[in-house]
């Protein structure tokens, strides 16, 4: 769901340019900034508010994409817990590939 530029800017500033799920600094590069997204904690399709700031969290593209499968989770805490679990697995997999291909 698309939100207005002023609301996007408010969320970005409030969340200090960091993904609220994995902590990624979205100001580390132009690419990271350009891929910054806003997550609707309670999905609009499930009755969540489109531009209500309490329903919006800044997210990196990876976290927001992963969260699209979890629209049944309607609190930030539940969505963050899922991403914490997923990010632990991703980190292990990432490190295994780095060691395998970049010894």
Backbone φ and ψ of 74, nearest 5°: -115, 10
Residue range 17-44: average pLDDT?
97
Backbone φ and ψ of 75, nearest 5°: -125, 150
pLDDT of residue 1 exceeding 70 = no
* pLDDT given at position 5: 96
Domain boundaries, the chain: 5-101
pTM above 0.85, yes or no: yes
Residue range 35-63: average pLDDT?
95
In the CATH scheme, what is the code of domain 5-101?
1.10.30
Where would I find the H helices in the chain? 5-14, 30-34, 61-67, 76-101
């Amino acid at each position: 769901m698309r939100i207005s530029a002023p609301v996007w800017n408010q969320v970005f500033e409030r969340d200090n340019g960091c993904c609220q799920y994995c902590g990624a600094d979205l100001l580390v590069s132009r690419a990271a900034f350009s891929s910054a997204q806003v997550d609707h904690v309670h999905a609009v399709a499930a009755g969540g508010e489109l531009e209500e700031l309490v329903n919006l969290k800044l997210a990196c593209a990876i976290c927001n994409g992963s969260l699209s499968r979890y629209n049944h989770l309607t609190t930030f805490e539940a969505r963050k817990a899922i991403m914490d679990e997923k990010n632990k697995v991703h980190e292990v997999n990432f490190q295994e590939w780095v060691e395998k291909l970049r010894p």
